[in-house]
Amino acid sequence: MKPEGLLAKAERALESADLLLSAGDPEGACNRAYYAMFDSARAALLQIAPDFVEIKTHGGLISAFSQHLVKPGHISVELGKAINATEDMRVAADYKGEPINLDSATWAVAEAHRFVVAVRELVLGSAKA
């Protein structure tokens, strides 16, 4: 999938996160917020190096994102930390059955919006160059 397609997928996940949050489903909202960030991160990595398609794990993708986009300063450290924290919440909810409180879910969805916007600007800005 091309970076633009991944960004469109991320936008749909954000819309779902917003709907789930407003419906009172914080676990579902965290899941969709994380996947919005995940697909955006994939888009950014593919934009800088098409061979990033080969990354097979969530941890591998987050590590590559940090190394190639956060550390060089293309994406803020705060957003790098946000994808890690949101993934931790998703794993806790999806695999450990731990509840996510509404405040945490609200934070995750807001950070996902910031994350997708930052990546969209990076990807589409570099696509124009």
Give the pLDDT confidence of 50-64 residue by residue, as tens digits. Answer: 777 677 789 988 999
pTM for this entry: 0.91
Q: Which domains does the chain have, with CATH numbers?
A: 3-128 (1.20.120.330)
Residue 15: pLDDT above 80? yes
Which residues touch 119 (CB under 8 Å, ≥6 apart)?
Answer: 7, 10, 40, 41, 43, 44, 75
Per the model's pLDDT, the better-predicted residue between 106 and 46 turns out to be: 106
pLDDT tens per residue, range 27-51: 999 999 999 999 999 999 998 877 7
User: How far, in Å, CA of 42 to CA of 40, rounded?
Assistant: 5
Question: What is the mean pLDDT of the segment spanning 77-83?
Answer: 96
Query: The dihedral of CA 103, 117, 11, 59: what is its sign?
Result: negative
pLDDT band at 127 (very low <50, low <70, confident <90, very high): low
User: How far, in Å, CA of 10 to CA of 116, rounded?
Assistant: 7
Alpha-carbon distance values, 61 to 23, 35, 43, 82, 99 (Å)? 30, 12, 11, 14, 25
Residue 128: pLDDT above 90? no
pLDDT value for 34? 97
